[in-house]
């Protein structure tokens, strides 16, 4: 195993743990279903959803997932390069 494989392996593990933490911190989407049925979806808080903590976590989840897939592809390419 080369040094780069070890470094990328550790990076993939750390990013995957960070994804798990960020996803677990988010609220479930079912919490808003009862409010939407009863007409409470047009509240002040729903209009400012882009500024909420949950929206920020959702944005971070997308970016972290992209980083995770890129790291996984790079780690796979380096691993295959050593076997060819």
Task: Tell me the pLDDT tens digit for each residue of 8-41.
Answer: 999 999 999 999 999 998 877 665 555 555 555 5
User: Degrees (nearest 5) of the Cα angle 4, 5, 10?
Assistant: 100
In whole angstroms, what separates CA 83 from the centre of its chain? 31
Instruction: Specify the 3-state DSSP secondary structure of 76.
Output: helix
Residue 48 has pLDDT above 90, yes or no: no
Domain that holds residue 79: 3-83
Domain count, the chain: 1
The model's pTM: 0.68
């Amino acid at each position: 195993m080369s040094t780069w494989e070890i470094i990328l392996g550790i990076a993939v593990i750390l990013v995957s743990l960070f994804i798990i933490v960020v996803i677990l911190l988010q609220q479930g989407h079912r919490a808003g279903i009862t409010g939407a049925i009863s007409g409470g979806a047009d509240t002040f808080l729903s209009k400012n959803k882009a500024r909420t903590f949950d929206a920020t976590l959702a944005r971070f989840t997308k970016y972290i997932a992209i980083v995770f897939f890129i790291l996984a592809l790079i780690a796979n390419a380096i691993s295959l390069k050593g076997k060819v």
